[in-house]
Amino acid sequence: MSRIAQQTDKMKADASEKASAATNFEPLRVADRALPRWAASLSFIFTATSAACWLSIAILAIFFQDIVAEQRKLHAALALALLGTAPLLGLVILDFAHGRALSGYQYTRQRNEARARALIGLLIGVTLTAVHPLLGLGVFAGIGLNHALPAAARALRLAEPPWDFTSEEAASVLSGRDDTGLSLARKAPRPFGLMAAPGALSTGVALLVTLAIGSWLMAQQIVATAAMPGLLLIVIWAVLASAKPVWPEAEAEKLPEPAQIERIPLPETEEQASGPAGLRVHRLTVSEAAQGALLRDIEITLPPGSVTGLIGSSAAGKSLLLKALAAPQDLSGLSVAGHASYNEEDLWERSRIEVQPPCVHLPAAPLILPVSAQDNLTCFSGEALGLRARKALEQLVYSADAADRILAAQDASRLSASEQKALAFARAFLLNPGLYLMDRPEDGASERLLAALAERIRTERRAGRSFLVATENRGLLELCDSMIVLEGGRLMDVGPAQEIRSRMAEGWSRFVTENTLDAEDALHLWLRSHFRRRGDEGNRRKACVVGSELLALSASEAKGGTRERIRFDFKHFKGFCQLEMSDTGAAISNAQIENARSRLQESGEVLNRDPLVEILRHSLSFDQRISSDRRTISVQIETYDPRMAPPVGAATRV
């Protein structure tokens, strides 16, 4: 079993170097330099004063022992305890003031503070030695051990990875289905991870030495019995203070909370009708407590052996959709509901040790672990996949030399962006899932690599594999059989790629929805996305009014309230925009149109409940086409150029 922490001695040394650099706050030296010299003195003053507060509590211990315990003046216990609150209050105020005085220099402040404490600890040792040559021995023994133990740990390379990652877990992690595992596996082993809590041993030794010497000095009547508790407290403080600068922080890893997942079963009738094959996404909704739904009621059906392009404007939800399909658990802080399966296999079922994941998620930034390229490619399966892995990579980088050069890398995270991308693609094909979820494969990839990827996708498609690819790359989009258009977390359009491409080339955009008034928000979102310029509010409002009335017209005519898919098409023209609604409703007769027009004239500016009247009120023209089973209502809506002031009281013609 291969473990990341045991790859090579060199990797281990590198990692522990990196980790010790991180824990010694190396990267923030710039801020240190920028801090004025007086800051160190200020830190020292604050720390010394706060140390004095602590020490005064230790001195109080002497009074507790002497007055309360030995002289039996019990009422003094309360008075002494109340007295002790003053240094405690002082501690809080001093720490806060120190933070405020050097705000923005947290690293320097903490480092100065640690150094000042260590210095004061040393001074305590010297002072105790001055009282009696043996009294400071415990403090010096503790300080000595504090320095000796980390040095020994470094020499012995005692490092512990935050997570004992095994080869069996590699496929799940590297297929993009386990973010937590990935981030833990990427973390360098912590130095001294296998040793006891920082300073525990040295403090224990210091206490033992002080107890032995202190009791001997008490027997000799050199030290008063009452001084013992205070002495022990001072020794503990001094040794712990000297531990801080040499022992790294040993914070426990905080793992993110997994997302809440609610599974919604597929409707039984639909399941039977559509058959099991391919990708089936049903009512997928991803929501966040503050922002609401980020993805709403996504329905996708893709046959096996298909390549589907996922397009939409920035922040439309493309990456989120791919992530929600592959690893919803990783969407920490979000709730995910719905159903996602591929060839009847639940995509949300995940095992820590999955040999062949049902899908592979390839995010825009390739998932690369800081281990050898070979292990990254074969998911730590050693020689077993060696030849196949090399061939998969060679096919993507075109030459055996380039593949060998990549595979020779001992730390794949140092490869070039395009090499890392090639490695991630090759690994995905080696994992051989049914479904590939690719997010911006073009990012960081060379043109040659993308051409090789397209070639490989064609081959895999013939073998029945499916691809859902969020991309803007023309070459990859041309490869697509179908396209999904996402906007504001909602599915706007799905259809054959050729059809969507030519529609978009002509400037048309489409929104497909159900003819219920619940779809109104989504319709408005889609319509508003066409009017993004400053000053477009009037255009936006009018388009939304007409859109709502078209939806109401279709919904009011639906037979028996049955739901059906209707579509809207939109295009800008000079001075107006055209909005079309296509459904299975009956043709509107000329008599109905004339009747609506006369009612519009009668009602004037007063709103009418009849959708047809309102459509006519806000439209420049009204037209309808009837084909075999569909009617298409086409209206033109007057628009203004927002760079000029909107025409005052611009009348809409009917």
Ligand X SMILES: Nc1ncnc2c1ncn2[C@@H]1O[C@H](COP(=O)(O)OP(=O)(O)OP(=O)(O)O)[C@@H](O)[C@H]1O
For ligand X, the binding residues (CB under 6 A) are 288, 294, 312, 314-320, 331, 333-334
- Beta strand extents in 97-200 (DSSP E only): 159-160, 190-191
CB of 480 to ligand X, least distance (A): 17
Closest distance between ligand X and the C-beta of residue 488, in Å? 9
Least gap, CB of 461 to ligand X (angstroms)? 24
Q: Which is nearer to ligand X, 440 or 542 (CB)?
A: 440
In angstroms, what is the minimal distance from the CB of 442 to ligand X? 12
Least separation, in Å, of the C-beta of 182 and ligand X?
Answer: 15
CB nearer to ligand X: pick between 447 and 472: 472
List of residues 6+ apart from 548 with CB closer than 8 A: 520, 523, 524
Widest CA span in the chain: 120
> Residues 94, 53: contact at Cβ < 8 Å?
yes
Q: Which is nearer to ligand X, 334 or 337 (CB)?
A: 334
Name which of 341, 286, 309, 279 is nearest 488 in CA terms: 286
Task: Identify whether the C-beta of residue 499 lies closer than 8 Å to the C-beta of residue 492.
Answer: no
The first and second tokens of residue 5, run together, are 């922490």
Please report, as a single letter, which amino acid is at residue 316: A
Which residue's CB is nearer to ligand X, number 83 or number 364? 364
The token pair that represents 193 in the structure block: 């991870």
State the Cα–Cα distance between residues 359 and 212, nearest whole angstrom.
66
Q: For residues 450 and 633, which CB has a smaller minimum distance to ligand X in the complex?
A: 450
> Who contacts 151 (Cβ-Cβ below 8 Å, separation ≥6)?
none
Place of tokens 């037209």: 623
Can you say whether the dihedral through the CA atoms of 254, 256, 258, 259 is positive or negative? Answer: positive
User: Closer to ligand X at the Cβ: 142 or 312?
Assistant: 312
CA distance 380 to 166: 8
Smallest separation (angstroms) from ligand X to the CB of 365: 12
Distances (CA, A) of 438 to 235, 471, 508, 654: 60, 8, 26, 48
Q: How far is the CB of 509 from ligand X (least distance, A)?
A: 16
Least CB distance from residue 324 to ligand X, whole Å?
A: 9
| Least distance between ligand X and beta carbon 521 (Å) | 17
Indicate the residue type of 399. Answer: S
* Closer of 360 and 470 to ligand X (Cβ): 470
- Name the minimum Å distance from CB 584 to ligand X: 32
Burial class (CB in 10 A: 0-12, 13-18, 19+), 18: middle
In the complex, minimum distance from the CB of residue 483 to ligand X, in angstroms, rounded to a whole number: 15
Give the Cα separation of 347 and 368 in Å (integer). Answer: 23
In the bound state with ligand X, the residue whose beta carbon lies nearer, of 274 and 319, is 319
Least distance in Å: CB of 150 to ligand X?
Answer: 38
The distance of closest approach from Cβ of residue 492 to ligand X in the complex, given in angstroms and rounded to an integer, is 12
In the chain, count H helices and then E strands: 23, 18
Helix (H) or strand (E) holding 512: strand 509-514
Cα 442 to Cα 453: distance, rounded to the nearest angstrom = 10
Looking at the Cβ atoms of 315 and 417, the one nearer to ligand X is: 315
User: Smallest distance, Å, CB 529 to ligand X?
Assistant: 13
Nearer to ligand X, 308 or 381 (CB): 308
| 24 Cβ contact partners less than 8 Å away, ≥ 6 residues apart | 248
What is the rounded distance in angstroms from the CA atom of residue 558 to the CA atom of residue 564?
8
| Contact in structure between 329 and 350 (CB atoms under 8 Å) | yes
Q: Minimum CB separation from ligand X for residue 295, in Å?
A: 8
| Closer by beta carbon to ligand X, 124 or else 316 | 316
Rounded CA gap, 456 and 379, in Å?
Answer: 20
Element (H, E) at 511: strand 509-514
DSSP per-residue codes, 105-134: -HHHHHHHHHHHHHHHHHHHHHHHHHH-TT
- Which residue lies nearer to ligand X by CB, 243 or 331? 331
DSSP string, 326-367: H-GGGSTTEEEEEEEEETTEETT---TT-SS-SEEEE-SS--
Q: CB 316 → ligand X: shortest distance, Å?
A: 4
Nearer to ligand X, 474 or 563 (CB): 474
Which lies closer to ligand X via its Cβ, residue 291 or residue 628?
291
Q: How far are the Cα atoms of 299, 471, 509, 559 from residue 468, in angstroms, in the given order?
A: 14, 9, 21, 36
Nearer to ligand X, 40 or 316 (CB): 316
For ligand X, the closer CB: 57 or 340? 340
- Strand segments, DSSP code E, in 322-470 are 334-342, 345-346, 359-362, 435-439, 466-470
